[in-house]
Every structure is written in structure tokens, then in C-alpha cells.
Amino acid sequence: MSLQALPTDILIVVIKVLDLQELVALSQTCKLFKTLVHDFGWANYIRLHPRDSCSLDKSLRTWDPLSQVRHHVLTDKAWARHKFAARPLSRPWQGKLQPLLAINPTRLVVAAGHTVYSYIFTTSGHLESAPGIQFECSYNLSTPHNQRRDITSLAFAPDSGMDRTLYIGFEHGALERVFLPPSKIGQRDVAVGPTLRTPFNYHYGVLIESLSISGDLLLSLSANGSAGLLNLSSVAPTPTMIDLEDRGWSTHLSTHSST
């Protein structure tokens, strides 16, 4: 009895346990297996081997499973061979500024000084055209009352898919929830008014080194080793403070089980 004589549902179960090389080899044996791998094998492979990529998220939704697998394979080979192109997002800033990055499926933001530069990801309808990124606008967070307002940390927060809510830590110890308003057509510089900013001042003037968000929790770390855990889903969030008794520079918060 040949393998091809087995019922289709059994063949699909067999295909589900094959790795990439085995799927490629099987699809080259005959028309039946090529069709089964195309219809079921690649989709199952993508499901079992997801690639989390904010910049590709929009495009992956429009690509068929085989195109997704091809893209991942070509990308892995290019990285392994150091064959990739790196291009600047913008012209150099004036002065010495330390940039900070935050990313979600819609945009990449770069903070430098008191300005947040927003870049949106574009969609590619086919594999031959790589997804792109383009400048959206810049958001000015300076105030006339406080000159020591350089951004020192930032992180995106869940906001029901709008992808416009940031938590931002500043040099002077302020922590704010900031909503990035949509820019008008042709508008490159956008001021963020006080109605779009919510302060959370519990680091008492000490520089905020790092922010990390997981689910509804925000972890903030100041330069003097003071860490605050804030429940963002609370109506009136009150931080739980921990003194690390030493300085820290970075945070990582995960509320997801390793299993």
C-alpha cells in the first residue's frame, strides 16, 4: 500500500509534524503532496513557528503562508551572510542626543531630547516588494516652565489597537501617559497639549532610567534604584514601590508564563 493511498485526513496529520526541509522535499514528489503541502502544510508550519515582527505585521496578514515562509527563509539567509541594507531614518540631530526607541505593529517612534519622531510601517502586497517605513510627524513635548525635560525612557501601552499611547519618563523625574494625536495632511510638527498628557509623579525629581510594560502593568526604574510597579487598568493607579538599594539602567517586565 503506497502512502498516496492513505485517506487525505491522515496525510494532513502526517504533514503537520514535518519540518521545513521535509515539507519542501515532500512537495516535490508528486502533484498530490504538492497540493496538500500548499493547502495545509505551510499554514500549519507558520502557526507552529510564528515570527513576531512589528514592522512586518501588516504585510504578513496579506501574504499567503508560502510567501511568509519564503520571506522568513530569505531573511534568515541574508542575516547569516551579513547581506542586508541599513539606511538612516533621518538626518543627524543638532547636538549630542541619546535616542530611545519604542515599537508596536503600527509605528516606530524615536525620542531624542524633548521630541518624539514617529515613523509608520507601510504594507507590501507581494514578496518582491519589501515592507517600508516612512516618516509620519514629530511630537514636541517641551514646556516653557521646565527646560530639563529630555526624554530618558519610553514604552508603548495597549490602547485597543490605536497604537498611539506612550508612557514617557523624563530627565527631571516626571512620568507621563501621552496620547499621540493624528497629524493633519502635510503637518510634520505636532504639539501635544496638556489634555493628551496624564502625569504620574512618584519618582520625585529623580531621572527615570527605564520603562517596561507587559499587559496592564508598568515597571519604572529611576536613577537612584527606586522601582515602581503600576497597574494601568486601575481607575486610580497607585504604584507599588521597591528600593533596589543600587542604581539600575534597564528593566524587563513579563507577565506571560514561559510554558
Which homologous superfamily is 100-243 in? YVTN repeat-like/Quinoprotein amine dehydrogenase (2.130.10.10)
Whole-angstrom distance, CA of residue 241 vs CA of residue 226: 7
Whole-angstrom distance, CA of residue 4 vs CA of residue 34: 12
pLDDT digits (tens, 9 = 90+) for 96-154: 888 999 999 999 999 999 999 999 998 876 666 777 889 999 999 987 766 668 999 99
| Long-range pairs of 57-63 with CB within 8 A, sequence gap ≥ 24 | 57/105, 57/121, 58/105, 58/121, 58/122, 58/123, 58/131, 59/123, 59/124, 59/125, 59/131, 62/123, 62/124, 62/125, 63/126, 63/127
What are the residue boundaries of the structural domains of the chain, listed by start?
A: 7-80, 100-243
Average pLDDT over residues 233-251: 87
pLDDT digits (tens, 9 = 90+) for 176-215: 999 999 999 889 999 899 999 999 989 988 999 999 999 9
Of 199, 139, 194, give the one whose Cα is nearest residue 169: 199
Written as nine digits, the cell of 142 is 517641551
Whole-angstrom distance, CA of residue 191 vs CA of residue 186: 15
Residue 83: φ, ψ to 5°: -110, 90
Share of the chain residues as helix, strand and coil, in percent rounded to the nearest 5: 25, 30, 45
* pTM confidence score: 0.85
Q: How confident is the model at residue 73 (pLDDT cuts 50, 70, 90)?
A: very high
Written as nine digits, the cell of 71 is 520571506
Written as nine digits, the cell of 115 is 521630541
Is-contact 15 23, C-beta < 8 A?
yes
